[in-house]
Amino acid sequence: MGAQAFDRVWSLYTGLTAAPFSGIRQDGLRVRVTGAYSAYKYTTQPGMDTLGSASLADLLIGYHKQVGPLTFKAFGGLMVADHQLAPDDPAATIRGPGAGAKLALETWWTVSERAWAALDLSWGSLHDSYGARTRLGWRLVPALSVGLEAEAAGNDDCNIARAGGFLRYEWASGELSLAGGLSSDKLLDDARRTNLDASVPYATMTWLTRF
């Protein structure tokens, strides 16, 4: 579960990944259910603010595979979403409920006892949604890592790019990650829409527990 916030946008998300036939760290089948809610605001040309909200959920089935220092998790399944705007924006292509297919790939590379890297990719047919995030971490001590991250995400109506740093603390049954940096957000152009602020701070918090 986690939360994130930056100028004009905030979101909350949660999820559960189950390993029905093996341990959560062992190779095998995975089932994942996630949900999220976000609220945002943007300005159209002649200066009117539009308030938006999005409710999202995924149901995915995948497989976890460990190959030496590399970990791979591949998923596929269903995504559903409901986007609401007030007042309505006729130029917006994303509104109301919808469903589509989703694919996701998560990778982890234990570079050395001190260094690690991660890359997560996803794509959904609903609104041509996509996401990509990479992290490079360095263990100050075995349980505490610091590092850099970069992320891109978007859909038919917007694109988001981020760069920043993170602090990650892990223990036997979970981990807590705090991150922050700068986010650049852009609404896809037409004659009457404007960008959100070109570069604004963002902050995220993610908590994971294993049981």
Per-residue confidence (pLDDT) for residue 204, from 0 to 100: 95
pLDDT, tens only, 45-78: 667 788 889 999 999 999 999 999 999 999 999 9
Per-residue confidence (pLDDT) for residue 159, from 0 to 100: 86
pLDDT, tens only, 138-167: 999 999 999 999 999 989 888 889 999 999
Per-residue confidence (pLDDT) for residue 187, from 0 to 100: 57
Average pLDDT, the chain: 90
In the predicted structure, residue 80 carries a pLDDT above the cut 90: yes
Q: How many residues does the chain have?
A: 211
- The band of 124, judged by pLDDT with boundaries at 50, 70 and 90, is very high
In the block, residue with structure tokens 């970069």: 150
SS3 of the chain: CEEEEECCEEEEEEEEEECCCCCCCCCEEEEEEEEEEEEEEEEECCCEEEEEEEEEEEEEEEEEEEECCEEEEEEEEEEEEEEEEECCCCCCCCCEEEEEEEEEEEEEEECCCCEEEEEEEEEECHHHEEEEEEEEEEEEECCEEEEEEEEEEECCCEEEEEEEEEEEEEECCEEEEEEEEEEEEEECCCCCECCCCCCEEEEEEEEEECC
pTM, to two decimals: 0.90
Please give the single-letter amino acid code of residue 134.
Answer: T
The CATH code of domain 2-209 reads 2.40.160.40
